[in-house]
A and B are shown apart, each in its own frame.
Chain A
Amino acid sequence: MSLLQVEDMTHFFGGLRAVSGYRLSIAAGEIRGLIGPNGAGKTTIFNLITGIHTPTKGSIRLENRSLIGLRPHQIAARGLGRTFQNMLLWRHMTVLEHVKLAHYAQLKYGLAGAFFGTRLCRAEEERVEENAHRLLETFDVARFAHQNVTQLPYGVQRRVEMARAMATRPKILFLDEPTAGMTPEELVQMIGIIRQIHSEFKVAILLIEHRLKFVMELCQRIQTLVFGEVIAEGTPEEIKNNPQVIEAYLGKEEVA
Chain B
Amino acid sequence: MAFFMQNVINALQWGSFYALIALGYSMVYSILMLFNFTHGDIFMTGAYIGLGVATALLALVAALGWSLPGWLLLVATIIISMFITSLLGVLVERVGYRPLRSAPRASAAITGLMIGIILEYGNLALLGTQRLSFPELIQTTTYSVGSVYFTNKKIFIVVVALLLMVGLHQFIQKSRWGMAMRAMSYDFPIVPLMGVSLNLIAPLTFAIGSALAAAGGILYGMAYPVLDPFMGILLGWKSFVAAILGGRGSILGAALAGFLLGFIEIFTTMVFPSTFRDLIAYSIILLILTFRPYGFFGQAHSTQLRL
List residues of A whose CB falls within 8 A of some B CB.
43, 47, 50, 52, 71-74, 76-77, 82, 84-86, 88, 90-93, 97, 100-107, 111, 114, 164, 167-168
Q: Look across to chain A and name the residue whose beta carbon is closest to the beta carbon of B195.
A: A105
A101-B176, A104-B176 given as contacts; is B193 within 8 A of A76 (CB)?
Answer: yes
Some 9 contacts from A to B, beta carbons below 8 A apart, are A72-B193, A76-B193, A88-B190, A88-B307, A100-B176, A105-B195, A106-B195, A107-B176, A164-B194
Given contacts A43-B307, A88-B187, A92-B186, contact A82 B193 (CB under 8 A): yes
Decide: A73 and B195 in contact? CB cutoff 8 A: yes
Most buried by A among B176, B180, B193, B306: B193
Which B residues are closer than 8 A to A by beta carbons? 175-177, 179-180, 182-183, 186-187, 189-199, 306-307
Say which residue of B182, B196, B199 sits within 8 Å of A104 (CB atoms).
Answer: B196
A206 to B285, CA, bound (A): 53
Question: Please, which residues of chain A bring their CB within 8 A of the CB of B193?
Answer: 50, 52, 72-73, 76, 82
Q: Is the CB of A104 within 8 A of B194?
A: yes
Complex interface: chain A residues within 8 A of B182 (CB): 90, 92-93, 97
A90 touches B183 (CB 8 A): yes
Which 7 pairs across A and B sit closest by C-beta, in order of nearness? Answer: A105-B195, A72-B192, A73-B192, A76-B195, A90-B186, A73-B197, A90-B183
Q: Is the CB of A168 within 8 A of B183?
A: no
With contacts A93-B179, A168-B195 known, what are 10 further pairs, Cβ within 8 A? Answer: A43-B307, A72-B193, A73-B192, A73-B197, A76-B193, A84-B190, A86-B306, A88-B307, A105-B194, A107-B176
Chain A min CB distance to B85 (Å): 16
- Contact (Cβ within 8 A) B307 A52: yes
In Å, the complex CA distance between A101 and B174 comes to 11
Which of B180, B196, B199: most chain A Cβ within 10 A? B196
Give every chain A residue within 8 A of B197 (Cβ-Cβ): 71, 73-74
**C-alpha gap A164/B194 in the complex (Å):** 8
B residues in contact with A43, CB < 8 Å:
307
B307: A residues at CB distance < 8 A: 43, 47, 52, 84-85, 88
Which residues of A are found within 8 Å of B199, using beta-carbon distances? 71
Task: State in angstroms the CA–CA spacing of A58 and B170 once bound together.
Answer: 46
